[in-house]
Structure 1
Amino acid sequence: MRKINTYFWISALVLNSSFLIAQSDKDQINTTINKYIEGTSYNKPETIKEAFYEEANLFLSRKDNSLWIVPVKDYAAGYEKKEKGKFNGRTGKIIAVDIENDIATAKAEILISKLDLRFIDIFLLKKIEGNWKIISKAATRKK
């Protein structure tokens, strides 16, 4: 009986620690995505750059170009011209996160109500030297 009890507690401990590690990664990914959301909502280019791997690209579109590839440094620079820290009308929320070892995907909804716009952003993340970074982002928009 004592042997069964010991196996039970060891199994419970292993399962619990695996769960805590997964939760920790999810929390870190949420923090990374929320840096992006905060940076783009409050005109904070440095916060945007913190969320991304420095060589990341964003795959966007605009009226004259169905695939517009923008390096993160150029994307963040677009927020430098605006008043830093001032809410610009963008709100965002994380819809989903899926983690597999040291890679993950995340999905967020971004709303700009004054323009009646809704964006869906899909992020590809990688755990690099213990930190989750966005290595790529694609977005689509709807009126």
Structure 2
Amino acid sequence: MGNTAAQDYDDITKAIQPYLDGAKAGKGDTMKPAFHANATVYGYLGDTLVSGPIKLIYDWADSIGPAPKVTPRVVKVDVAGTAANVRIEVDNWQQHRFTDVFNLLKIDGKWVIVNKIFHTHQ
């Protein structure tokens, strides 16, 4: 009746793909399907705290443009029923290296990112 762990893993990695595609394309609109409309973001870009609606990430992607050499790797997926946590290591996003941690919720049978926190590596 319920999804298997492997199916959830596949569905979750597919759910975050628009975010990764948007990073590469430098287009916030491409990222939107990965996120809940009320999703939030928190993290530091250098010494600057970024906090608020996910639109901040869309706008940032638009402002820095395409990143054809970006190399994201999913390093951890943790699922508990309708809640999941995903960690991604992102190299070469316009000279930046990030660790992204996403919290996802399965809403109406579909995985969606409800929160992103991130660390910018020096």
Fold in common (TM above 0.5): yes
Distance 1:31 1:113 in 2: 20
Distance 1:114 1:80 in 2: 12
Unaligned runs of 5+ in 2: none
1:90 paired with 2:84, answer no
Q: Which amino acid aligns with 1:54?
A: A
Larger Rg: 1
Using CA pairs under 8 Å that are at least 6 residues apart, name the structure with larger relative contact order, 1 or 2: 2
Alignment of 1:48-127 (within 5 A): 48-65=31-48, 67-81=49-63, 86-112=66-92, 115=95, 117-127=96-106
Structure with bigger strand share is 2
CA deviation map 1:36-62 (0-9, x unaligned) = 111111123222111011111110213
Corresponding residue pairs, total: 122
In the TM superposition, what is the alpha-carbon distance from 1:34 to its structure 2 partner? 2.1
* Local SS of the residue matching 1:53: strand
Following TM superposition, the consecutive aligned residue runs of length 4 or more in structure 1 with deviations greater than 4 angstroms are none
Structure with bigger helix share is 1
Q: Taking structure 1 as reference, are residues 72 and 142 closer, same or farther at Cα in structure 2, changes over 3 Å only?
A: same
Unaligned runs of 5+ in 1: 1-16
CA contact (8 A) 1:60 1:70 kept: no
* Number of the residue aligned with 2:115: 136
Give the TM-score, by structure 1 length.
0.74
Percent identity of paired positions between Structure 1 and Structure 2: 27
What's the C-alpha RMSD, in Å, of the aligned pairs? 2.2
Distance 2:38 2:88 in 1: 21
Q: Taking structure 1 as reference, are residues 118 and 80 closer, same or farther at Cα in structure 2, changes over 3 Å only?
A: closer
CA deviation map 1:75-107 (0-9, x unaligned) = 212333466xx5443221111101000000000
